């Protein structure tokens, strides 16, 4: 009887642990919102979402290669993507996450680029340097005016860069 | 003299216990200090390959054609149309960015930098959880090492002489740096 109880306990624990883990790896605070906003919707009417906590689902199509301090989540149907920026070291997105399905949440924000930052970005793109998929979260990029302060080189729309200040994510294997 | 014996024993044992971790943190510290000059975690190589014009079709069909022409047998993790003129094929630590319809491919491979990836993983506490706790213990251990270390030697080479000046010189470096750079 005692053995049966022990086996039951082990199976129960294993079930609880596997259910808690799911098939994804949780980063930061994970994901708490039940409904995701389509990236396309977010970028089509960004002012409706500014300052609000949102969740986006999609495929990881870019990762900060040096520090893992951002990842780009793209809706595979529309090709629209949004960058999830986290504080260095608080959450680290691994390069191996590229191409995996993910869900992430955080506060949607816009950074208005200064004329100098717009110019620096244009110059970088013209020179074929560190584009949206580059590594310009580094200080070099920030010094050039197109990096950290300008949203880690995330794509711009009308001189504004939209990004999500990520609080958590789940990356599925 | 009992307290000196205790200090020496503590310094010795804590020192032995944390010697390995100190080397790990020091190597990783140098590696990440120069992150602007290199990628301390991954070796990333990018090559271009012209595949010739690709047939029109859905994402999966184009991806199959690309993989076939590049003689890659691996099943992609995912295939995403980034824009009408660009398809991206994600393999294990490898990304193929295909320009359509010209078939120009940018092939990016990444591999973990041997040893450094693991050292940085520990030093930068990517794992969180248990490692946060253990790293705190290590930090406390370093404080113990520093505080016991200065009392090991007595006499002219200890705190009463040369040791005092070296201790002050070591404190002066960060202090002068702060005065010149942060507080000026």
Contact assessment for residue A41 and residue B14, using Cβ atoms and an 8 Å cutoff: no
Residues B105, B71 share a domain: yes
pTM of the shown model: 0.81
Q: What is the pLDDT of residue B25?
A: 98
Which of A79, A100, A135 lies nearest to residue B77, judging by beta carbons? A100
Among A20, A21, A54, which residue's Cα sits nearest to residue A37?
A: A54
Residues B62, B16 share a domain: no
Using CA coordinates, name the residue in chain A closest to B41: A66
**B117 vs A: CB within 8 A:** no
CATH number of A24-172: 2.40.50.140
Q: What is the pLDDT of residue A127?
A: 67
Residues B23, B84 share a domain: no
Q: Flag if B95 and A89 touch (Cβ within 8 Å).
A: no
Residues B161, B132 share a domain: no
Distance from CA of A62 to the nearest CA of B (A): 10
Range of the domain at B77: 42-112
Q: What is the pLDDT of residue A3?
A: 54
ipTM of this predicted structure: 0.84
Contact assessment for residue B79 and residue B59, using Cβ atoms and an 8 Å cutoff: yes
**B11 vs A: CB within 8 A:** no
* pLDDT tens per residue, range A100-131: 999 999 999 998 888 888 888 777 777 655 44
Residues B49, B97 share a domain: yes
Q: For residue A142, which residues of chain B lie inside 8 Å, CB to CB?
A: none
Among A141, A95, A106, A139, which residue's Cα sits nearest to residue A121?
A: A141
Which of A59, A67, A89 lies nearest to residue B80, judging by beta carbons? A59
Residues B98, B9 share a domain: no
The C-alpha atoms of residue A98 and residue A132 are separated, in whole angstroms, by 15
**B81 vs A: CB within 8 A:** yes
H helical segments located in A22-132: 39-44, 115-126
Q: What is the pLDDT of residue A121?
A: 77
Residue A145: is its pLDDT beyond 90?
no
Candidates B40, B82, B132: best to mutate against A (most CBs of A within 10 A) is B82
Q: What is the pLDDT of residue A128?
A: 56
Q: For residue B88, which residues of chain A lie inside 8 Å, CB to CB?
A: 61
Residues B103, B47 share a domain: yes
A89: confidence class by pLDDT, cuts 50, 70, 90:
confident
Contact assessment for residue B131 and residue B125, using Cβ atoms and an 8 Å cutoff: yes
Residues B74, B59 share a domain: yes
* Section A141-163 average pLDDT: 62
Distance from CA of B78 to the nearest CA of A (A): 5
Candidates A43, A64, A92: best to mutate against B (most CBs of B within 10 A) is A92
The fraction of chain A above a pLDDT of 70, given in percent, is 70
Residues B158, B143 share a domain: no
Residue A173: is its pLDDT beyond 90?
no
Measure Cα distances from A15 to A18, A21, A125, B5, B115 in Å. 5, 10, 51, 53, 35
Q: What is the pLDDT of residue A19?
A: 40
- Angle (nearest 5°) at CA B77 between B88 and B63: 45
Q: Residue ranges of the domains in chain A?
A: 24-172
Using CA coordinates, name the residue in chain B closest to A96: B93
Q: Cβ neighbours of residue B135 under 8 Å, at least 6 residues apart?
A: B125
Residues B25, B49 share a domain: no
Among B112, B130, B144, B127, which residue's Cα sits nearest to residue B22?
A: B144
Distance from CA of A4 to the nearest CA of B (A): 32
Total domain count for chain B? 3
Residues B64, B107 share a domain: yes
**A138 vs B: CB within 8 A:** yes
Q: What is the pLDDT of residue A151?
A: 55
Among B10, B4, B3, B1, which residue's Cα sits nearest to residue B140?
A: B10
pLDDT tens for chain B, residues 1 to 184: 688 999 999 999 999 999 999 999 999 999 999 999 999 999 999 999 999 999 888 999 999 999 999 999 999 999 999 999 999 999 999 999 999 989 999 999 999 999 999 999 999 999 999 999 999 999 999 999 999 999 999 999 999 999 999 999 999 999 999 999 999 8
Q: What is the pLDDT of residue A119?
A: 82
Q: What is the pLDDT of residue A114?
A: 84
3-state DSSP assignment of residue B64: helix
* pLDDT tens per residue, range A14-42: 444 444 445 799 999 999 999 999 999 99
Residues B83, B57 share a domain: yes
Q: Flag if A76 and B40 touch (Cβ within 8 Å).
A: no
């Amino acid at each position: 009887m005692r053995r049966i109880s022990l086996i039951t306990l082990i199976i129960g624990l294993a079930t609880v642990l596997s259910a808690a883990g799911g098939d994804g790896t949780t980063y930061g605070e994970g994901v708490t919102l039940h409904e995701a906003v389509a990236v396309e919707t977010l970028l089509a009417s960004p002012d409706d979402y500014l300052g609000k906590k949102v969740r986006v689902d999609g495929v990881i199509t870019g990762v900060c290669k040096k520090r893992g301090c951002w990842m780009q989540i793209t809706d595979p149907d529309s090709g629209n993507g949004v960058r999830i920026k986290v504080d260095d070291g608080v959450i680290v997105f691994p390069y191996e996450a590229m191409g995996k399905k993910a869900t992430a949440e955080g506060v949607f924000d816009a950074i208005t680029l200064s004329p100098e930052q717009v110019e620096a970005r244009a110059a970088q793109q013209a020179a074929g340097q560190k584009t949206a998929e580059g590594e310009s979260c580094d200080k070099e990029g920030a010094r050039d005016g197109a990096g950290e302060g300008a949203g880690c080189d995330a794509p711009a729309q009308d001189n504004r860069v939209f990004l999500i200040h990520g609080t958590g994510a789940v990356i599925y294997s | 003299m009992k307290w000196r014996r205790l200090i020496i024993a503590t310094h010795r044992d804590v020192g032995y216990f944390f010697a390995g971790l100190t080397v790990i943190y020091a190597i990783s510290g140098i590696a990440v200090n120069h992150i602007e000059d290199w990628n301390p975690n991954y070796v990333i190589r990018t090559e271009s390959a012209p595949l010739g014009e690709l047939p029109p079709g859905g994402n999966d069909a184009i991806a199959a054609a690309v993989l076939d022409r590049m003689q890659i047998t691996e099943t992609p993790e995912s295939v995403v149309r980034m824009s009408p003129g660009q398809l991206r094929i994600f393999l294990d630590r490898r990304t193929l960015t295909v320009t359509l319809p010209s078939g120009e491919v940018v092939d990016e491979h990444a591999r973990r930098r041997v040893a450094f990836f693991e050292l940085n993983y520990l030093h930068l506490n990517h794992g969180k959880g248990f490692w946060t706790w253990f790293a705190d213990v290590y930090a406390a251990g370093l404080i113990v090492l520093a505080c016991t270390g200065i009392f090991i030697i007595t006499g002219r080479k200890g705190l009463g002489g040369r040791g005092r000046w070296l201790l002050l010189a070591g404190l002066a470096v960060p202090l002068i740096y702060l005065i010149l750079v942060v507080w000026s």
